[in-house]
Structure 1
Amino acid sequence: MSFKAALGFFASLAITALLSTGMARAEPVKLVGFGDSLMAGYQLPAADAFPVKLEAALRAKGHEVEIANAGVSGDTTSGGLARLDWSIPDGTQGVILELGANDALRGIAPEETEKNLDAMLTRLKERGIAVLLAGMLAPPNMGADYAERFNGIYGRLSEKHGVPLYPFFLDGVVTKANLQIEDGMHPNPAGVDVMVQSILPTVETFLKSIKAGE
């Protein structure tokens, strides 16, 4: 092989290697939004569901990410624990875990809710999947005692498992009728937009931590 031909050959190899590296870097981070109707997009078009709009907002900011919607309307922490493994496929790098609202609405003992969430966090850690825990607050009609027992769940679990916490998933939407559908509990498309913008900085930091651990 001539010197010129050899030079061309190695240049081609170098270009191929650079392209391969670029393609590898472009591989999206795979997240799953795991939760109840607030995650699923209750009574909303699929395009207005929280995971879809969050993915779009992250991509608009230059993040290569895919977010699967594993929200199930009406799901409790008990139901979430039962379906955790088959709802979150292998290859998932991070989970936004949002459950507990239906537990509070049904008056389920906060200790049971905490136990279920604890088990989910433990299982995801065993699988090597990072978690962003999205908190919930008990509705006022449940009383002060219930609220005190329920509202501290998420902070305790965040500290115990060393996972980031977004304190209140419905921040900026709760009690605002113009951001809710007719039931007064679930966000409308404008409400989902508010939720996405509120949580966006936290999710960006979460993504950075996942990439740093690769």
Structure 2
Amino acid sequence: MTFKAALLHFAVMLSATLVGATASLAEPLKLVGFGDSLMAGYQLPQEDALPAQLQRNLVAKGHDVVITNAGVSGDTTAGGLSRVDWSVPDGTDGVILELGANDALRGIPPEQTARNLDQIIARLKARNIPVLLVGMLTPPNMGGDYGKRFNAIYPDLAKKYDLPLYPFVLDGVITDRSLLLEDGMHPNTKGLAVMAERMLPLAQSWVSSIEGKRN
């Protein structure tokens, strides 16, 4: 091979490498919304579910993201732990973790819920997947002692793992009947829009931190 031909070959290879690197950087962030019915969009079309609404809000703010809906209605933290490894595929850039509501409704010991969430987070951390933790508060009828123990789970885990925490997934929604389905527990499309809007500032900060590490 002549020097000129070798130089041309090198230029072609370098160009292909640069194109590949640019294409990689141009890929959207792949996020997963991992949770229960509040994430899944209970009785609603997928385009109205929280992941889809939050994705649209983030894109409107200039973030190139795709949020896959890995919510399962009725899921507990134990159920989430059993499926986290296959529900969050390789190549995921971040997980929005929202679980615990069904644990509280079933009166599952808060210590068990905390252990399950701890293990879910630890597994994701071991895979170098950033987590945005979304908290839950217990209904008043669960009693003061149960509520105190349960409600401490999310801030404690956020502190332990240095995670961004959105304290209460139903903030601004659960007390407004117009934002709920007939069951009085699950948000309707408008309710999910409120949730996505209220979660947006923290989600945007979290996504920006992932983007910064990626670049």
TM-score if structure 2 supplies the norm length?
0.90
Distance 1:16 1:119 in 2: 42
2:96 is the alignment partner of 1:82: no
Who is 1:115 aligned against? 115
Q: Can you give the 5+ residue segments of structure 2 that lack an aligned partner in the other structure? A: 1-6
Who is 1:71 aligned against? 71
- Once the 2 structures are TM-superposed, how far is the Cα of residue 14 of structure 1 from its aligned partner? 9.7
Equivalent positions of 1:30-179 (< 5 A) are 30-179=30-179
Distance 1:137 1:181 in 2: 19
Partner SS, residue 172 of structure 1: coil
Give the letter for the 2:83 counterpart: R
Distance 1:30 1:17 in 2: 23
Distance 2:37 2:162 in 1: 26
Who is 1:3 aligned against? none
- Once the 2 structures are TM-superposed, how far is the Cα of residue 213 of structure 1 from its aligned partner? 2.1
Distance 1:14 1:75 in 2: 49
Give the letter for the 1:187 counterpart: P
Distance 1:62 1:188 in 2: 26
Partner SS, residue 119 of structure 1: helix
CA-to-partner distance for each residue in 1:163-209, whole Å, 9 max, x for gaps? 11111111110111000000001100000100000000101111111
- Once the 2 structures are TM-superposed, how far is the Cα of residue 46 of structure 1 from its aligned partner? 1.5
Mean Cα deviation higher: 29-38 or 57-66: 57-66
Partner SS, residue 132 of structure 2: strand
Q: Can you give the 5+ residue segments of structure 1 that lack an aligned partner in the other structure? A: 1-5
Partner SS, residue 75 of structure 2: coil
**4+ residue segments displaced more than 2 Å:** 12-26
Mean Cα deviation higher: 18-27 or 183-192: 18-27
Distance 1:114 1:211 in 2: 29
Who is 2:187 aligned against? 187
Give the letter for the 2:68 counterpart: A
- Once the 2 structures are TM-superposed, how far is the Cα of residue 148 of structure 1 from its aligned partner? 0.4
- Once the 2 structures are TM-superposed, how far is the Cα of residue 22 of structure 1 from its aligned partner? 4.9
- Once the 2 structures are TM-superposed, how far is the Cα of residue 61 of structure 1 from its aligned partner? 1.4
CA-to-partner distance for each residue in 1:121-169, whole Å, 9 max, x for gaps? 1110001100000000001110111100000100000010111111111
Distance 1:93 1:17 in 2: 23
Aligned length: 209
Partner SS, residue 169 of structure 2: coil
Distance 2:60 2:20 in 1: 24
Distance 2:186 2:63 in 1: 28
- Once the 2 structures are TM-superposed, how far is the Cα of residue 60 of structure 1 from its aligned partner? 1.3
Distance 1:125 1:204 in 2: 20
Who is 1:209 aligned against? 209
- Once the 2 structures are TM-superposed, how far is the Cα of residue 15 of structure 1 from its aligned partner? 8.8
Who is 2:4 aligned against? none
Distance 1:131 1:25 in 2: 21
- Once the 2 structures are TM-superposed, how far is the Cα of residue 68 of structure 1 from its aligned partner? 0.3
- Once the 2 structures are TM-superposed, how far is the Cα of residue 26 of structure 1 from its aligned partner? 2.2
Distance 2:177 2:134 in 1: 22
Sequence identity (%): 60
